[in-house]
């Protein structure tokens, strides 16, 4: 009997064609296609950075996207000892991490306002930072820490004189060698302990004075820090209990003679997200440090650093939302279901438009806050707005980020749930900004504290709302109701989250009514201020101009 041959494999007959999938998101100008950010950069006083941002945008849409993937797939590893048994306490990173760090430092994301303090410098940096974070968020931690350390170190001029030129340099040098042998340096932070968390005054780490101590003086530091951000850095700002009370100290990783400081890395944290970056527990067993600022005034000293990191939390939340919008709208514009592209389906349009509105509101809020940092030194009103605006923006923008990331992920369906889409990484990253440098409750109570201690904050906040008075009746009503909330002091602390949420919404509404297209502002006011929406995204009123909103935010790839 003749041999029967099997049929050719299915793939050979064309059944493995790839159809109805979105093309790769390549060649994207991350800045230039972010219309709301481009407009805010110019509006808030940093139009001079536009040419540089125009260069950064296409760069971030290219190879750094791959670096972000690689840095997360190959997270840092702790090496406590060398092969001879000597304690070295080093963190090893994938080359992609170092490329991201080189990029961030070269583009002055860590130092622009300190290197070039012209008007609008903080706003300019915010535009670059929001753009770069859309490649990867993890590397932003040491970038932000280094940026935020400078104003805190200036409380001790002799320390700032030595460290500031290194912390603001535009070269990247990850070697652990004495600072005087380096051309650049990075700074981290170690505040929280396992028994205290946000209550840093419960810290048990001690600082014993050497040779008299005092501001700029030498101390021996002993204790255990539950979270040490970016342990691969050259310098750390640390809180410890001195004889006079909780104080701030500058602690170098490597001493002047080349020996390692008594800075033992116990373990790296296995985190939900932010996996490309190292976070650690650390023990100081007689570590050498110098006091920054006045004895017993550690919190007021380090709060300068905390304030700037909170600014970056708001900027980072807006960056994540923007990337979610990019991914969701790109997918929907190329994926068909039930005979139509997703982007043409009425219900999907509602979801996408809602995500776009949230992203634009977060971008406008972050950029307006950055301008307050630019103006604060020369304007008391701006200083007051910076104080209250930082707490409000940190709370509200960061609280909205996780839900936004999830809804953007769902727009991709099962594709979005798969790791290689990038959406799970965005989703895991989203909660961090709300937790870092003050969780929701801490920020809400900080708003109440600012309003109680600094009455100018109340006036500065409502002056910003009043700038939009009369432009939209729904905003006017919402602002009036918000003002009346402060006339009922009973139960204020229990109502703090609701109060700060409404402050965030009112502030975003004021900005959008003044500066966004009518379609965006109208949909925001209808859904967020007037209650014409449900509790989930995609519940905007039926009359919303969905297509106009989506087209404003959907990225166009380069030809």
DSSP 525: I
Buried b (16+ CB within 10 A) or exposed e, 338-353: eeeebbebeebbbbbb
Relative to beta strand 206-210, strand 218-229 is antiparallel
Total-model pTM = 0.95
Three-state SS sequence of 191-223? CCCCCCCCCHHHCCCEEEEECCCCCCCEEEEEE
pLDDT at 4: 45
* CA proximity to 144, closest of 99, 113, 183, 180: 113
pLDDT at 558: 65
CATH number of 301-553: 1.20.140.10
Residue with tokens 């950069």: 41
pLDDT at 5: 44
**179-299 fold:** Butyryl-CoA Dehydrogenase, subunit A; domain 2 (2.40.110)
What percentage of the chain's residues is helix, strand, coil (to nearest 5)?
55, 15, 35
In angstroms, the CA 528 to CA 426 distance is: 24
Relative to beta strand 187-190, strand 235-242 is parallel
Residue 526: C-alpha distances to residues 91, 359, 394, 408 (Å)? 50, 16, 24, 21
pLDDT at 559: 58
For 20, counting Cβ atoms within 10 Å of its Cβ (0-12 exposed, 13-18 middle, 19+ buried), the class is: exposed
Provide the total of helices (H) and of strands (E) in the chain, helices listed first: 20, 11
Average pLDDT per block of 10 residues along the chain, 559 residues long: 45 76 93 98 98 98 98 97 94 98 98 97 98 98 97 97 98 97 97 85 93 96 94 96 97 97 96 97 97 96 94 98 98 95 97 98 98 96 98 98 98 96 98 94 96 96 98 98 92 95 98 98 98 96 97 85
Question: With contact defined as beta carbons under 8 Å apart, do 554 and 330 qualify?
Answer: yes
Question: With contact defined as beta carbons under 8 Å apart, do 553 and 359 qualify?
Answer: yes
Question: With contact defined as beta carbons under 8 Å apart, do 343 and 332 qualify?
Answer: yes
Question: With contact defined as beta carbons under 8 Å apart, do 360 and 353 qualify?
Answer: no
Domain ranges within the chain, ordered by starting residue: 35-167, 179-299, 301-553
């Amino acid at each position: 009997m003749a041999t029967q041959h099997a049929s050719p494999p299915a793939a050979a007959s064309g059944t493995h064609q790839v159809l109805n999938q979105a093309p790769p998101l390549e060649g994207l100008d991350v800045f230039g296609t972010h219309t709301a950010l481009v407009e805010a950069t110019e509006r808030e006083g940093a139009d001079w950075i536009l040419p540089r941002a125009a260069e950064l945008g296409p760069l971030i849409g290219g190879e750094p996207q791959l670096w972000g993937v690689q840095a997360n797939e190959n997270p840092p590893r702790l090496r406590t000892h060398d092969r001879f048994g000597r304690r070295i306490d080093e963190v090893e990173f994938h080359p992609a991490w170092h490329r991201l760090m080189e990029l961030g430092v070269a583009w002055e994301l860590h130092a622009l306002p300190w290197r070039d303090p012209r008007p609008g410098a903080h706003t300019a940096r915010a535009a670059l930072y929001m753009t770069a974070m859309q490649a990867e968020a993890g590397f932003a931690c040491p970038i932000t820490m280094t940026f935020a350390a400078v104003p805190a170190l200036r409380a001790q001029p002799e320390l700032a004189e030595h460290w500031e030129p290194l912390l603001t340099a535009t070269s990247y040098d990850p070697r652990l060698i004495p600072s005087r042998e380096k051309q650049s340096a990075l700074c981290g932070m170690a505040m929280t302990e396992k028994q205290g968390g946000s209550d840093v005054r419960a810290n048990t780490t001690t600082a014993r004075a050497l040779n008299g101590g005092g501001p700029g003086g030498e101390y021996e530091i002993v204790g255990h820090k539950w979270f040490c951000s970016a342990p691969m850095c050259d310098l750390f700002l640390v809180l410890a209990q001195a004889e006079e009370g909780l104080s701030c100290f500058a602690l170098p990783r490597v001493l002047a003679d080349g020996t390692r400081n008594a800075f033992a890395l116990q373990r790296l944290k296995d985190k939900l997200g932010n996996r490309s970056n190292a976070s650690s527990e650390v023990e100081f067993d007689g570590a050498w440090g110098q006091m920054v600022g006045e004895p017993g005034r550690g919190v007021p000293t380090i709060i300068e650093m905390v304030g700037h990191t909170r600014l970056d939390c708001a900027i980072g939340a807006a960056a994540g939302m923007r990337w979610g919008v990019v991914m969701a709208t790109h997918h929907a514009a190329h994926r068909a279901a039930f005979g139509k592209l997703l982007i043409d389906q009425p219900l999907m349009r509602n979801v996408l438009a809602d995500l776009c509105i949230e992203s634009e509101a977060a971008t406008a809020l972050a950029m307006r806050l950055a301008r307050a940092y630019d103006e604060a030194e020369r304007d008391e009103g701006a200083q007051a707005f910076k104080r209250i605006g930082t707490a409000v923006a940190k709370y509200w923008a960061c609280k909205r980020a996780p839900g936004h990331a999830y809804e953007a992920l769902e727009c991709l369906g099962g594709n979005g749930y798969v790791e290689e889409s990038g959406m799970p990484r965005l989703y895991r990253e989203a909660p961090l900004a709300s937790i870092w440098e003050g969780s929701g409750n801490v920020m809400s109570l900080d708003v109440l504290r600012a309003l109680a201690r600094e009455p100018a904050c109340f006036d500065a906040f409502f002056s910003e709302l009043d700038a939009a008075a009369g432009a939209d009746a729904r905003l006017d009503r919402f602002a009036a109701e918000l003002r009346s909330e402060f006339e009922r002091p009973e139960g204020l602390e229990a109502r703090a989250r609701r109060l700060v949420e409404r402050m965030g919404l009112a502030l975003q509404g004021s900005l959008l009514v003044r500066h966004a297209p009518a379609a965006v502002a109208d949909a925001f006011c209808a859904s967020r201020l007037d209650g014409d929406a449900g509790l989930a995204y995609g519940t905007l009123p039926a009359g919303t101009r969905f297509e106009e909103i989506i087209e404003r935010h959907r990225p166009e790839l380069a030809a």
